[in-house]
Amino acid sequence: MKNFKTLNWIGAVDGYLELIDQRKLPTEFVNINCRTVEQLYNAIKTLAVRGAPAIGVAAAFGVCLAAQEIKASKLADAVKYIEMQIDYLASSRPTAVNLFWALERMKKKLYEVAKIEDLQNCLLREAKKIYDEDVEMCLKIGINGEHFIPVNGGILTHCNAGALATAGIGTALAPIFEAQKNGKKFQVYADETRPLLQGARLTAWELMQAEIDVTLICDNMAGSLMRQGKINAVIVGADRIAANGDTANKIGTYSVSVLAKAHNIPFYVAAPSSTFDLKIQNGSEIPIEYRNADEVANFMDLMTAPNGVKVYNPAFDVTPAENITAIITEKGVIECPTKEKIQNLINP
C-alpha cells in the first residue's frame, strides 16, 4: 500500500534525514532535508513531521545529526554535547511520549560507546534499529487489529495515525490496511480534525492513495452518522497512554469516545507499546501541548475570527480508559484496559 517514505535517512554517518513536509499535503508532495539538529527541531515543532511514532524515529536520527556536529576530541566532551542536543530535541513537543522514549534509548546507547571514533556509527545503527522496529510494529498492530474491522461496516477515524505518522504503515490505519489486504469490504469515515485538518489533509489523502473507500466529514457530523447506523467502529491512535489506560490523542478524540459510548459503538485505540508511560498513573498527569492561537483564528492564512479574540487551543485531550473498548498494540490486544492488564502485557 505504502509507496512513499515519511522519513528516510540518506547516506552513511555523514548523511541527512529526508522528511515529507506534511504541512504541504495534500496539494503538494514535497520532501525537506534536515542536515542539522536545529532544522529537525523546527520540523517537529511546526508539524512538518508529526505523529508520535514518526516523531520518535525522527528524533533518534536527530541524535545522529548532533554527532556530526561534534568538535571535541574527548569522548566525555562529545557525550556532554550530545546530551545537550538531546535535551533540546526533547523540548520540541511535550505530549507524545515516543519522542522522549526514543531520545532516552539513544542516550543509553551513547553511554555504551567506548571510543569517540565509534560514536557516529553506534548511534546511526541504533537509530536505524528504531526505524526498522517501528515498521515491524505497524505490521503487527495491523495483524492484531484486523478482526476488529467490521465486514461491510463503517469505521470512523480521527486525526491521522497512518503511514504519515510512522515509519511503517501506521497504527490506527494499520488494521484498515490489513483488512483491505484480506479482501474485506468496508467504508471509512475520516473526520476533518480541526484546527489543522490532519484528517482532511492527511488521512483522506492516504486512504485514497491506497484505493480505500473513504468519506470526509466535518468533526461535528460524527454523532449524526452514528445515530443513522453508518458507523460501526471507531479506531484512533495515541500520543501517550497512562498506566491506567487513559489515553491522550488529538483534540476531539474524547468527544468521539463519548459519542461512541452513547451509541454502543466499540472505540479502539491502536498504539505501540512505546506509547505507554507507566510512570504516569492517569490521564490528569499527561502534559498537554497548547499551540498558537492563529491555528484556530485563521484558515489558510485568512483570518476567520475577530482580531484579538481570545483563543483556547490545546493540541490534545484525554480519553478515559472506561470509554475504550480495547487498546491494540504490537504485543497484543488489551480489552477493557486496566492498570493490571496493561502491566501484564507491557512489562510481564
Cβ neighbours around 110 below 10 Å, total? 21
DSSP state for residue 291 in the 8-state scheme: -
C-alpha to C-alpha distance for 208 and 196, rounded to whole angstroms:
19
Phi, psi dihedral angles at 335 (to 5 degrees) = -85, 140
Inter-axis angle of helices 174-181 and 119-145, nearest 10: 60
Rg (C-alpha) for the chain, rounded Å, is: 20
| Active-site residue, from 239, 246, 277, 317 | 239
Question: Which H/E stretch holds residue 31?
Answer: strand 31-34
Question: Per this entry, what is the length of the chain?
Answer: 348
Is 239 labeled as catalytic in the residue annotation? yes
CB 187 within 8 A of CB 175: no
C-alpha to C-alpha distance for 120 and 99, rounded to whole angstroms:
20
Cβ neighbours around 308 below 10 Å, total? 8
Catalytic residue annotation = 239
